[in-house]
Structure 1
Amino acid sequence: MPVAVITGASKGLGRALAAALAEQGWDLVLGARTASALNESARSIGASYGTRVVPVAGDVTDAGHRKELLAAAGGLGGLDLLVSNASALGAEPLVRLDALPLEGLRAALETNVVAALGLVQEALPLLRASEAGTVIAVSSDAGAEAYETWGGYGASKAALDQLAAVLAVEEPELRVWTVDPGDMQTDLYAAAVPDDDDPRPAPEAVVPGFLRLLEQRPVSGRYAAPALVDVR
């Protein structure tokens, strides 16, 4: 069975993608900071689809945790897909750049960029050994567009986009996709803009876009999940 590692997998998009992959027969290593929520997600997904699901609680900014994630993947037989989904906003709720705490910006960069690269570095030997080694970096339209108050988070996602683009050039045998999932109804968005009650798609609605990428395996690049699937 193919093996995937997904960070930020206890809820939201990470959990939705994990469930969809398990339904297709993938074995999974799931990472997140909150052990109780992560363990429940892993138990539920494993029981529902009969695949092996290994929860590894910890913070992706911790090098030891990253090693544990990849060791767990090796224990399942290898690694075919790495999904960097864990994200930090930098401020909750979001604020304008003139009020953005520099320590918040550093935290966003550490989680969204530095830890994502560290995880890739740890994963490369396993990914290179796979016949279909793939990296998905979950990005945001805030990394490509200028939205008020989204400057720190957007800057971190823009940096993530560039790292993924360079990785694709340096590792031509892999597929490296940066995926913008679009607006979703998630805890992350609620923390970013708590007063925004406009309806948004559930994470499950955009997961088919990710699955289409895995099925069709287009060239490495940046993709928008809503453009790959009708989420109306």
Structure 2
Amino acid sequence: MTSMPDLNGKLALVTGASRGIGYEIALQMARAGAHVIAVARTVGGLEELDDAIKAAGGEATLVPLDLTDFEGIDRLGGVIAERWGRLDILVANAGVLGTITPVAQMKAKTFDEVMAVNVTGTWRLIRSVDPLLRSAEAGRAIVISSSVAHKAKSYWGGYAASKAAIDMLARVWAAENAKGALRINLVNPGPTRTHMRAQAMPGENPDTLPTPAQTAAKIVPLAGADVTQTGLIFDVPTGSWMDVAPPAPA
């Protein structure tokens, strides 16, 4: 799945859009014709994105919003409904790493922040826009996950636990909507040259990694109307679909 979909006339909401993979997803969706509602807490990054989208001939609406502003997220769906009356695409990309540290040594404040942004914020976002996506002709939800959600990797407890929770939320949400037109899938972007990756792997040579633009180019096609998969995880490094459910007991 590599061809860019035709998103003309589509309305796409992208969180964490001020940098990294989220920035590139928003930019590439705008280039494909979507009007992008770009959400992030960094205003400067959003303004840079807006300039890039305008330079590409696209359109965006900027929403400075922190995913820990739960009431703000709750209002977002209503504002979109009032202004546009619809939403075609959700990309739940925003997230924080926390600290790479033993589970027993993680600070409570750090753990609470990771769960608030990655889990509670994403859940409230889903709840806020669910009616709009379900009523769309071909609603598409893309939830950014991580391979660490499925392996017990030492020192990654907080982030891994948050992504495991998001995976299950998205899969259950997909199961609940399996008979409708809404398709909901997870994405493992794999190692990418981002600020978060540099935080997690400070000794790594970033030149050995794909750029955010390269990774985003493999994610944006999941918003296409021809995507029939739902409740699965798309693994960017291998370009393959995976059933993230654990194997059945022998």
Q: Same fold (TM over 0.5)?
A: yes
Q: Does the Cα contact within 8 Å between 1:27 and 1:51 map onto a contact in 2?
A: yes
Counterpart check, 1:196 vs 2:207: no
Unaligned runs of at least 5 residues, structure 2? 1-8, 241-250
C-alpha distance in structure 2 between counterparts of 1:63 and 1:155, whole Å: 20
Q: Which residue of 2 aligns with 1:62?
A: 69
Counterpart check, 1:149 vs 2:159: no
Query: How many angstroms does 1:133 deviate by?
Result: 1.1
**Residues 72 and 53 of structure 1: is their aligned pair in 2 closer, same or farther, counting only changes over 3 Å?**
farther
Unaligned runs of at least 5 residues, structure 1? none
- Cα RMSD over matched residues? 1.7
Q: Which residue of 2 aligns with 1:225?
A: 236
Query: How many angstroms does 1:90 deviate by?
Result: 2.0
Q: Does the Cα contact within 8 Å between 1:79 and 1:133 map onto a contact in 2?
A: yes
Q: 1:124 aligns with which of 127, 130, 151?
A: 130
Q: 1:31 aligns with which of 7, 32, 39?
A: 39
Is the helix fraction higher in 1 or 2? 1
Query: How many angstroms does 1:67 deviate by?
Result: 4.1
Q: Secondary structure at the match of 1:131?
A: coil
Q: Which residue of 1 aligns with 2:221?
A: 212
Q: Secondary structure at the match of 2:238?
A: helix
**Residues 204 and 80 of structure 1: is their aligned pair in 2 closer, same or farther, counting only changes over 3 Å?**
same
Q: Does the Cα contact within 8 Å between 2:78 and 2:128 map onto a contact in 1?
A: no
> What code does the residue aligned with 1:180 have?
N
Q: Secondary structure at the match of 2:96?
A: coil
Query: How many angstroms does 1:86 deviate by?
Result: 0.6
Flag the structure with more relative contact order, 1 or 2, with Cα contacts below 8 A and sequence separation at least 6. 2
The superposition leaves residues 151-207 of structure 1 with CA deviations (integer Å, 9 ceiling, x where unpaired) of 210110011000001001112221110111001110111122323335211111122
**Pairing of 1:38-77 with structure 2 (within 5 A):** 38-45=46-53, 47-67=54-74, 69-71=76-78, 73-74=80-81, 75-77=83-85
> What code does the residue aligned with 2:203 have?
D
Query: How many angstroms does 1:77 deviate by?
Result: 4.6
Q: 1:2 aligns with which of 2, 10, 28?
A: 10
Q: Which residue of 1 aligns with 2:103?
A: 97
> What code does the residue aligned with 2:55 have?
S
**Residues 159 and 24 of structure 1: is their aligned pair in 2 closer, same or farther, counting only changes over 3 Å?**
same
Q: Does the Cα contact within 8 Å between 2:14 and 2:22 map onto a contact in 1?
A: yes
C-alpha distance in structure 2 between counterparts of 1:90 and 1:104, whole Å: 6
C-alpha distance in structure 2 between counterparts of 1:142 and 1:150, whole Å: 8
Q: Does the Cα contact within 8 Å between 2:76 and 2:128 map onto a contact in 1?
A: no
Query: How many angstroms does 1:117 deviate by?
Result: 0.8
Give every structure 1 segment of 4 or more consecutive aligned residues whose post-TM-superposition deviation is greater than 3 Å: 67-74
Aligned residues: 226
